[in-house]
Amino acid sequence: MIHYDQYRPTRYILVLLLFLGCGQLLSQTTDANALLGSWQFDSASSFAQRAEATKAVVEAHPEIQSKIMASYVGKSISFFENGDYQQQLGDGSNASGRWSTDGGSLLISTSDCSVYRFSFGITGDKLLLQTISDDPGYKSLVPNQYFTKIQ
């Protein structure tokens, strides 16, 4: 007869390793306080995740591609405790307004009264914003925006 008591330490070690291994997956947060600070857009990661159809359309129209690159490359966004945000695009233009969270959603209200909704996740110093739209026909040019915390 096999006595499983002799394997008890092994079971505890395996369970501990499982929790440690899954810890990285579970470390992503949607905590609003984690958004505070300044974030730099990661163009390489963000542009690499565009849909093939979107890439083809953009590449077929150099004027659109240059406008997108000028806006996104070098873009940064800052979230402040008082609910204000400020964004500087790569072309030097600025946008500002208010931000708030609702569960895992980030709501950005611009000064011209437009409201944008994103799902967001933060892992370490990395932020992922994913565009959410109620319009089934809406296609974002950069649906997954990756950022790195700079302050």
* 128-151 pLDDT tens trace: 999 898 887 777 778 899 999 997
Q: What is the pLDDT of residue 105?
A: 92
Q: Would you give the DSSP letter of residue 11?
A: H
What is the share, in percent, of the chain residues with pLDDT greater than 90?
42
Q: Comparing 9 with 93, which gets the higher pLDDT?
A: 93
73 neighbors 41 (Cβ within 8 angstroms):
yes
Average of per-residue pLDDT across 10-20: 41
Label residue 30 by pLDDT band (50, 70, 90). low
Q: What is the pLDDT of residue 2?
A: 54
22 neighbors 52 (Cβ within 8 angstroms):
no
Residue indicated by tokens 């369970």: 15
Q: What are the tokens at 149?
A: 């915390």
What is the distance between the alpha carbons of residues 21 and 44, in angstroms, rounded to a whole number? Answer: 28
What is the distance between the alpha carbons of residues 79 and 39, in angstroms, rounded to a whole number? Answer: 9
Label residue 66 by pLDDT band (50, 70, 90). confident
104 neighbors 30 (Cβ within 8 angstroms):
yes
Cα within 13 Å of Cα(45), Cβ side = 13
Measured in Å, how far apart are the chain's first and last C-alpha atoms? 62
Q: What are the tokens at 9?
A: 């330490």
Label residue 62 by pLDDT band (50, 70, 90). confident
49 neighbors 143 (Cβ within 8 angstroms):
yes
Average of per-residue pLDDT across 103-113: 90
